[in-house]
C-alpha cells in the first residue's frame, strides 16, 4: 500500500527518530566506508605530449599535381593504432631508463604483462583539428612522465619511417608495373610487326579500289571485244562479196608495182608493230611469193607472151579486206587474253579480300592490345615520376609532417577524484543514507501509516484518527537515547574530521 508523497517526509523523520541507533550505525558505516575507499583508492598521475600536425607547409601548394604527399585520415585513431603496435610498445617495455636495469632481460610472461599494462594506460585524444595528445596514466608520476615522453618520440620516429617506407614501396611497385607493361608493350609491338610482315595484302580500302578498277577495265575490254567481233563479222560478209582474183598482164613492171605496194604497206606496219605481228608475217610471205614469180618471169624472157597474154592474180581489195580481217581476229585474241588476265586478277583480288577480312579481326586485337597497353604504360610513367618526387619529399621530411608542440610535463597532481572529494562525499552520503533507506522501506512497507491510504483504498472516510500517546517514562527514556546518540555522532564526526586532516597533512598515508 503506497504511502502518499505528502506524508513521506513526516514518516521518514518518524522512522529515523524511532531507530536512532540504527541511523547512527548506518551513518558511521557509510561515511567511514567512503573515507576508507578514499584511503585505498589508487591515485594515478597522467602526463601528455602534444603533437602538432603540420600539413600546411609551403611545399604542398608548390608540388600540387606533381607529387602526392602522404596523408593520414582520422589522425588520433591512426596514432593510437601505431602506438599500440608491438614494435613500438615493446621498445618502451624494455627501456631501462623507464623500468630500471634488467628491463630487457625479463621473461616472456612478464614482458607480455608489461605490454598489456602500457596498452591499457595509453591515452590518445584529439585536440582540435591540427593537434592531438599522447598521454600515459600511472600510479608513479615519474613513470607517467617518462612513458608519455618516450611515446611521443617513438611516434614521431615511427610515423616518419612509415611515411618513407610507404612512398618507397609505392615507387617500387609502380616501377615494377612499368617494367612489366614495357615488356608487354614490346611483345605486342613485335607480334604486330611480324603480323604486318607476313600479311602484305594491304588494307580493305586499297583492295576495294583495286577490284573496282579491275571491274571497270574488264567491262571496257568486254565492250571492245564485242566491237571487234561485230567488225570481224562485217569484214567476213564483205570478203564473201569480193572476187579473190583478177586477170592482168604478166609483166615485170606489174610484179614490181605490186612488190613496191606491198613493201610500202610492210614499212608502214613495222612502224607500229613488231615483226611477229600477223599482218607483217602475211605481207612478208606475199612479198616472197611475188619476188619468186617475178624472178621466173624474167628468167623465161618470154616478153612476147607476157605482153600478149594475162593470168589471174590476187585481188588487192580482197587482200586488203583479208588483211584487215586478220588484224581484227588478232585483236580479238589479244582482247580475249586481256579479259582472261582481268578475270584472273579479279579472282586473285577476291581471295586477297578474303584474307584481309580474316586478318582484320586479328589486326584489331593486336592494335587494341597495343593501344591499351600503351595508355596504361604512359599513365604508369607519369605516376612513377610522381611517386619518385613523393618519395624524395618524404625523405626530406616535407609534405604531411608531425612535430612535438609541447613536451610531456611532470605531473604535480593525481588525475581523477582526490581524497578531499572522498572526505566530503563520505559525510554527505553518511547523512543521506539513513533518510534514503527509510524512504525506500516506507515505499515497500505493507502497513498503513496514514488515513489517506485507507480512504483511497476502501473508498470510505475515516471518522476518527487516534494519536500515539507516550508515558512520561518513555519520553524521558527517548530523551536520554537522543542525547547519547547525538554524543556518539559528534564523536564519530570528530574522529572522521581528524582522520581527514591527518591524511591531508601527511600524518597518515
The string of DSSP codes covering 183-205 is HHHHHHHHHHHHHHHH--S--HH
State the pLDDT confidence band at 438, using cuts at 50, 70 and 90: confident
- Element (H or E) spanning 449, and its range? none
Burial state string for 380-406 with b = 16 or more CB within 10 A and e = fewer than 16: beebbebbbbbbebbeeebbbbbebbe
Rounded to the nearest integer, the mean pLDDT of the chain is 77
Q: Are 408 and 133 in contact (CB under 8 A)?
A: no
Nearest-angstrom CA–CA distance, 119 and 112: 11
pTM of this prediction?
0.44
Nearest-angstrom CA–CA distance, 57 and 402: 12
What are the cell numbers at 251? 609483166
Q: Is residue 266 classed as helix, strand or coil in its secondary structure?
A: helix
Residue 60: pLDDT above 50? no
Q: Could you read off the pLDDT of 406-436 as tens digits, one per residue?
A: 787 877 766 666 767 778 888 888 888 887 7
Q: Which residues contact 184 (CB under 8 A, 6 or more apart)?
A: 373
For position 166, what pLDDT does the model report? 78
Report the Cα 123 to chain-centroid distance in Å.
36
For position 298, what pLDDT does the model report? 77
* Residue tagged 607517467 (cell numbers): 144
CA distance readout (Å), 495 to 253, 421, 427, 486: 180, 18, 12, 14
Q: Contacts from 135-140 at CB under 8 Å and sequence distance 24+?
A: 135/46, 135/47, 135/48, 135/49, 136/46, 136/47, 137/44, 137/45, 137/46, 137/415, 138/44, 138/45, 138/46, 139/42, 139/43, 139/44, 139/45, 140/45
Residue 204: pLDDT above 60? yes
Q: Could you read off the pLDDT of 277-309 as tens digits, one per residue?
A: 778 888 888 888 888 888 887 776 554 444 444
Amino acid at each position: 500500500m503506497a504511502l502518499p508523497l505528502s506524508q513521506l517526509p513526516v514518516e521518514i523523520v518518524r522512522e529515523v527518530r524511532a531507530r536512532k541507533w540504527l541511523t547512527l550505525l548506518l551513518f558511521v558505516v557509510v561515511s567511514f566506508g567512503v573515507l576508507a575507499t578514499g584511503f585505498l583508492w589508487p591515485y594515478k598521475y597522467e602526463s601528455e605530449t602534444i603533437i602538432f600536425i603540420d600539413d600546411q607547409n609551403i611545399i604542398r601548394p608548390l608540388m600540387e599535381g606533381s607529387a602526392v604527399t602522404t596523408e593520414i585520415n582520422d589522425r588520433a585513431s591512426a596514432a593510437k593504432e601505431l602506438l599500440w603496435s608491438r614494435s613500438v610498445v615493446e621498445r618502451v617495455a624494455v627501456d631501462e631508463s623507464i623500468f630500471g636495469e634488467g628491463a630487457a632481460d625479463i621473461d616472456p610472461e612478464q614482458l607480455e604483462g608489461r605490454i598489456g599494462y602500457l596498452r591499457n594506460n595509453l591515452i590518445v585524444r584529439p585536440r582540435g583539428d591540427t593537434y592531438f595528445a599522447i598521454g600515459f596514466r600511472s600510479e608513479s608520476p615519474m613513470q607517467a612522465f617518462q612513458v608519455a615522453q618516450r611515446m611521443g618520440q617513438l611516434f614521431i620516429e615511427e610515423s616518419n619511417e612509415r611515411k618513407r617506407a610507404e612512398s618507397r614501396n609505392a615507387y617500387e611497385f609502380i616501377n615494377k608495373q612499368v617494367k612489366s607493361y614495357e615488356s608487354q608493350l614490346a611483345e605486342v609491338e613485335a607480334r604486330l610487326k611480324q603480323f604486318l610482315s607476313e600479311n602484305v595484302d594491304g588494307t580493305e580500302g586499297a583492295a576495294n579500289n583495286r577490284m573496282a578498277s579491275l571491274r571497270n577495265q574488264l567491262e571496257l575490254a568486254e565492250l571492245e571485244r564485242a566491237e571487234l567481233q561485230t567488225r570481224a563479222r562485217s569484214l567476213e560478209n564483205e570478203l564473201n562479196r569480193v572476187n579473190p582474183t583478177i586477170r592482168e598482164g604478166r609483166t615485170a613492171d606489174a610484179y614490181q608495182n605490186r612488190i613496191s605496194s606491198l613493201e610500202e604497206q610492210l614499212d608502214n606496219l613495222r612502224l607500229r608493230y613488231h615483226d611477229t605481228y600477223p599482218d607483217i608475217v602475211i605481207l612478208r610471205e606475199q612479198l616472197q611469193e611475188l619476188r619468186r614469180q617475178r624472178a621466173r618471169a624474167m628468167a623465161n624472157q618470154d616478153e612476147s607472151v607476157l605482153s600478149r597474154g594475162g593470168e589471174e592474180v590476187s585481188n588487192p581489195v580482197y587482200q586488203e579486206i583479208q588483211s584487215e580481217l586478220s588484224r581484227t581476229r588478232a585483236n580479238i585474241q589479244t582482247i580475249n587474253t586481256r579479259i582472261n588476265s582481268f578475270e584472273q586478277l579479279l579472282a586473285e583480288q577476291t581471295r586477297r579480300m578474303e584474307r584481309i577480312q580474316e586478318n582484320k579481326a586479328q589486326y584489331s586485337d593486336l592494335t587494341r592490345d597495343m593501344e591499351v597497353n600503351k595508355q596504361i604504360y604512359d599513365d604508369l610513367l607519369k605516376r612513377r615520376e610522381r611517386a619518385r618526387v613523393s618519395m624524395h619529399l618524404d625523405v626530406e621530411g616535407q609534405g604531411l609532417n608531425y612535430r612535438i608542440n609541447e613536451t610531456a610535463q611532470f605531473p604535480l597532481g593525481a588525475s581523477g577524484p582526490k581524497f578531499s572529494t572522498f572526505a566530503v562525499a563520505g559525510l554527505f552520503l553518511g547523512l543521506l543514507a539513513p533518510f534514503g533507506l527509510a524512504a525506500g522501506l516506507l515505499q515497500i512497507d505493507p502497513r498503513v501509516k496514514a488515513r489517506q491510504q485507507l480512504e483511497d483504498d476502501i473508498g470510505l472516510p475515516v471518522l476518527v484518527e487516534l494519536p500515539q500517546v507516550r508515558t512520561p517514562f518513555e519520553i524521558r527514556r527517548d530523551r536520554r537515547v537522543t542525547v547519547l546518540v547525538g554524543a556518539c555522532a559528534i564523536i564519530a564526526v570528530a574522529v572522521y574530521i581528524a582522520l581527514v586532516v591527518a591524511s591531508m597533512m601527511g600524518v597518515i598515508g
